[in-house]
Structure 1
Amino acid sequence: MKIQGKLFIWLSVFLLIMAVTYGVWSREPVGTTALVLSFGLAIMIGFYLAFTANRVDAMAQDNKEADIADEAGEVGFFSPHSWQPLSLALGGAFLFMAVAFGWWLAYFSAPLLLIGLFGWVFEYYRGENRTQ
């Protein structure tokens, strides 16, 4: 994780230099604001990755002598059949459509979005006494 932290910190330095250069030369506030916000996002991510790199074990990417296969293994658990992402996607799509068609659509999309979100988070949490 150390290398990712360094990459994002160097990216934030580059974005800050570009924001100042663009702001001085163009005097255009929208692009300058976008570059400054990109700098803020990159420095937050870089600081978080550099901060957490000190608290986790060294990974294979931190070792210059490591092989590609050193990081091989299980990535995580992915649900084989879940309807929750569909509900979440439909709720999000209707919520973004509310910006174009009217805010009244947000009242219908918010429950669908919340059902998808809570369903996905608590999909495999059923309690200790659950019978199969």
Structure 2
Amino acid sequence: MKAESWVIVAVGIFFAMIAPIYWLVSSDLTGTTALVMTFLLCALLGFYLGVVAKQIPDRPEDRNEGDIAEGAGEQGFFPPYSWWPLFCAMALGVVVLGVVIGWWLFIIGVGIGALTVSGWIFEYYRGVHAH
């Protein structure tokens, strides 16, 4: 994670240098604000990755003498495909349309949304991918 944190910090430094130059050239408040907030996001992410890098043991890719074979084995849990995010997005669409059209549709969308979010949360407790 050390390499990742340095990359993000370098990108943040780039945006910190570009923001005042952009302000002087264009006097655009919106773009300057976006560049400053991008710098703050990079600073936050770089700080988080730096703290996490100190908490975990060295990975083979963080050491100069690390071998590829040291990284063999299980790398983590990667979930298979899921249809639940699509259904959650459609439920959110019904909720937004409910705000525009009428409260009755909003209430129906919230009910459908509660079902789809609970389905997404509990998809690994039943069915083919149950643990």
**TM-score of the aligned structures, taking structure 1 as reference length:** 0.72
Per-residue deviation, 1:56: 0.9
CA-to-partner distance for each residue in 1:8-61, whole Å, 9 max, x for gaps?
111111111111110121100111111111111111111100011111111222
- Using CA pairs under 8 Å that are at least 6 residues apart, name the structure with larger relative contact order, 1 or 2: 1
Residue 76 of structure 1: aligned partner? 77
Unpaired segments ≥5 residues, structure 2: 127-131
Q: Distance in 1 between matches of 2:13 and 2:38?
A: 11
- C-alpha deviation, 1:78, in angstroms: 2.0
Structure 2 counterparts to residues 46-85 of structure 1, below 5 A: 46-68=46-68, 70-74=70-74, 75-79=76-80, 82-85=82-85
Aligned length: 122
Distance change >3 Å, CA 110–CA 64, structure 1 → 2: farther
Identity over aligned residues, as a percent?
A: 33
User: After the TM superposition, which segments of 4 or more aligned residues of structure 1 sit over 6 Å from their partners?
Assistant: none
* In 2: Cα distance, 1:104 partner to 1:44 partner: 40
Given that 1:11 and 1:42 are in contact with CA atoms closer than 8 Å, whether structure 2 keeps it comes out as: yes
Give 1:112's aligned residue: 112
Contact in 2 for aligned 1:2/1:62 (Cα 8 Å): yes
Aligned residue number for residue 35 of structure 1 = 35
Question: 1:82-126, CA deviations, whole angstroms, 9 ceiling, x for partnerless residues?
Answer: 54233223234x16x938x93758824444334333322233358
Residue 77 of structure 1 and its aligned partner are, at CA, apart by: 4.2
**Cα 1:36–1:59, aligned 2, differ >3 Å: closer, same or farther?**
same
